[in-house]
Amino acid sequence: MLAGNNNQPPSSMLAPDSDGALTDIGWNGYLSAAQSIAAEVMAGSNKSNFMSCDPSSDTSCLTNTVKSFGRKAFRRPLTDAEVTSFMRLNSLTPTGQPLEVAEAILYAFLASPSFILLPELAQDKDSNGNLKLNSYEVATRLSYLLWGTVPDATLNTAADAGQLTTAAQIATQAQRMLKSDKAKAVVTNFLHYYAGIDAGSHWVNNTTHDTTQYPTFTDASYAPAIAEMDAFFQDVVLGGGMFKDLFLGSNGFVTKDTAAVYGLDPSSYGTALTKVQLDGTRRPGFLTRIGFLSTFSKFDVTSPILRGAFISGRVLGVNPGTPDPAFTKTPIPPGNYTTMRQAIDALTANEPCHSCHGVNINPSGYVLEHYNSVGMWQDLDPWGGTIDGTADVRFSPTDTKTITDPLGMMTEIAGLPEAKHHYAEQWVAFATGRVPNPNDTCTVDQLTTSMAQTSYPLVSVFADYTQADSFRLRTVSN
């Protein structure tokens, strides 16, 4: 909106998130970021997004800018006292040139607590004694949740009119917002949260593979493979897909650097992602794509453990826990293995490994042994043996099935109530910014029930969540 071209986001200048009070270092970071953004905006083409008048010739320009920009930055109209506070920048000694004053005003807004924080301080209560968010606060919640930025003009108009106090009014806005291109923000942000795509994860760290053994996967393949994940998620969620499509959808997104892994002709593709139809029996859903399969692998071999642990923890919601570091580097026992599966069986044959690995982790990883370290389909293990992708996968404590191929496993997951419940729970955790508490149970259950309907679009999870009481009400604790 204001700043921006090809450089880094402002947050890269700021201190990392942490609990507790703002620190000296953190505050100086805010001041530096605010100062540099203000200077950049005033020197560039984005200036018109900040001020629409010329302070050199229009004597009311600065005041009008404080009011109009302040409305956006604080997500509410400024009080007269606040306008006066900002306008003191126009009466300093020595006097500033009008454009200097405008820059200082922008700088001050960007450093203001009411801009940096999302205050929710309205004091009206409902009949149960819960504090009611006002329309400005609801607009802010909606906008930062679904778009990751400040409210637009339509939301501001609704907020000014006090028309964001009922569930129906909020639903109307949420549905409108989710049709906007800006809703890509919530899809990417939430699915990254759901899948754990963040710094320090395997998604980000396991980026290279043995090019001698896997010539189709080069240094240029990693970035488009990860980009495919984002494109796939957006295609499913914003394209009207359902929960099952996350695991069964066959649309793919390839470039010349990833096409060959899927058995496509790389010369038919360029450097931009191209949407293609993949083989639905071999490539159902995001867990059968290069981005996942290659990062949840090792440099030169597959890792049924990493893949299986992901499915257990991230998809089924059964946290396998952190392994004891004393065992994470345990070498595979000596033996003449012809498949990775045999080696992992030997590695985890004894306690304390077997009770968890044998039941919750390894089986789903074995089913995915049909994909090699970079994600290509394989029927023969590089060690010479035939791939055995049949395993007894435990989908829940009362549901263990013999699975013979990836499509069979994805079909089970796509219909699994536990997987839907976990997805809903993760969404509520993401939306509230905290671990779900018992009060969220009802919201999570409602969303899970909705997702069980055969034609319920996945995007509706986002909109329906805004109908929860907790989206409009809050309590204060000490």
Partner 1 sequence: MRTKLMNRRQLLRGLGGAIVAAPFLSSVAERYAKAQSATATDPRRLIVYFTHYGCLTDRWFPKLSHGQLSAADYTNNQTLSAMAPFASKLLMVRGIRAMNEWSFQGSLGQTTDPHTQVCGSYFTCQPVTPDDGKFTATAIDRSLDFVCAEQVNANGSAPLFMQIGGVSGNSSNTQAVISFSGPNTINPGYGSPQQIYSSLTNLFGKGPVTSDTYKVARGNSIIDIVRDDLANLKRTPMSSADQQKLDAWAQLLHQTTTAVSAQCSADTATKLGLTSQTVQGGGGFGADISKIAPIMMNLAVLTAICDANRVIFMKMPPNYVFSFLGLTNESHGLSHRINSANMGGPCLSGVMDMLHTIDLWYAQQFAYLVGQLDSFAEGSGTLLDNTATVWFNEMSDGDSHNLNNLPILQAGSCGGYFKTGWAVNVEGAKTDLSVGNSDGDCVNGSTLSNLDSAGTMPATLASMPINKYFCNLMNAIGVKADGTGFPKKGGTEPVSKYGMYDDSKLFKGGGTSPASITNPGEYAELRA
Q: Are strands 391-396 and 473-474 parallel, antiparallel or unpaired?
A: unpaired
User: Which regions of 223-262 does DSSP assign to beta strands (E)?
Assistant: 251-254
Q: Minimum distance between the CB of residue 88 and partner 1, rounded to whole angstroms? A: 6
Question: Can you tell me the distance from the alpha carbon of 356 to that of 65, in angstroms, rounded to the nearest whole number?
Answer: 62
φ/ψ region of 274 (left if φ > 0, alpha if ψ in -120 to 50, else beta) reads beta
Closer to partner 1 by Cβ: residue 96 or 382: 96
C-alpha distances out from residue 103 to 96, 106, 392, 412, 423, Å: 10, 5, 65, 58, 45
Q: Minimum distance between the CB of residue 351 and partner 1, rounded to whole angstroms? A: 16
Question: Can you tell me the distance from the alpha carbon of 161 to that of 159, in angstroms, rounded to the nearest whole number?
Answer: 5
Closer to partner 1 by Cβ: residue 44 or 384: 44
Question: Helix axis angle, 24-43 relative to 98-110, nearest 10°?
Answer: 140
Task: Count CB-CB contacts under 10 A for residue 148.
Answer: 14
Query: What dihedral do alpha carbons 113, 114, 120, 125 form, nearest 10°?
Result: 120
Find, among 406, 417, 435, the residue nearest to 281 by Cα. Answer: 406
Query: What dihedral do alpha carbons 374, 208, 340, 248 form, nearest 10°?
Result: -30
Q: Minimum distance between the CB of residue 17 and partner 1, rounded to whole angstroms? A: 7
Query: What dihedral do alpha carbons 175, 177, 179, 182 form, nearest 10°?
Result: -160
Radius of gyration of the chain from its Cα atoms, rounded to whole angstroms: 26
Look at the alpha carbons of 336, 342, 347, 351 in this order and tell me if their dihedral is positive or negative. Answer: negative
Q: Minimum distance between the CB of residue 95 and partner 1, rounded to whole angstroms? A: 7
Closer to partner 1 by Cβ: residue 23 or 400: 23
**DSSP secondary structure code for residue 332 in this structure:** P
Closer to partner 1 by Cβ: residue 197 or 407: 197
Question: Helix axis angle, 61-73 relative to 98-110, nearest 10°?
Answer: 20
Residue with tokens 């109530």: 417
Closer to partner 1 by Cβ: residue 15 or 264: 15
Q: Minimum distance between the CB of residue 429 and partner 1, rounded to whole angstroms? A: 11
Q: Minimum distance between the CB of residue 132 and partner 1, rounded to whole angstroms? A: 10
Closer to partner 1 by Cβ: residue 111 or 264: 111
Closer to partner 1 by Cβ: residue 134 or 288: 134
Closer to partner 1 by Cβ: residue 92 or 161: 92
Q: Minimum distance between the CB of residue 73 and partner 1, rounded to whole angstroms? A: 8
Closer to partner 1 by Cβ: residue 26 or 266: 26
Q: Minimum distance between the CB of residue 7 and partner 1, rounded to whole angstroms? A: 5
Closer to partner 1 by Cβ: residue 36 or 411: 36
Closer to partner 1 by Cβ: residue 145 or 293: 145
- Enter the tokens of residue 346: 């030997």
Question: Can you tell me the distance from the alpha carbon of 448 to that of 474, in angstroms, rounded to the nearest whole number?
Answer: 23
Q: Minimum distance between the CB of residue 141 and partner 1, rounded to whole angstroms? A: 8
- Enter the tokens of residue 254: 């390839």
C-alpha distances out from residue 1 to 47, 178, 449, Å: 10, 19, 38
Q: Minimum distance between the CB of residue 288 and partner 1, rounded to whole angstroms? A: 26
Closer to partner 1 by Cβ: residue 1 or 380: 1
- 120 class by beta-carbon count within 10 Å (0-12 exposed, 13-18 middle, 19+ buried): middle
Q: Minimum distance between the CB of residue 197 and partner 1, rounded to whole angstroms? A: 13
One-letter amino acid at 454 equals T
Q: Minimum distance between the CB of residue 319 and partner 1, rounded to whole angstroms? A: 11
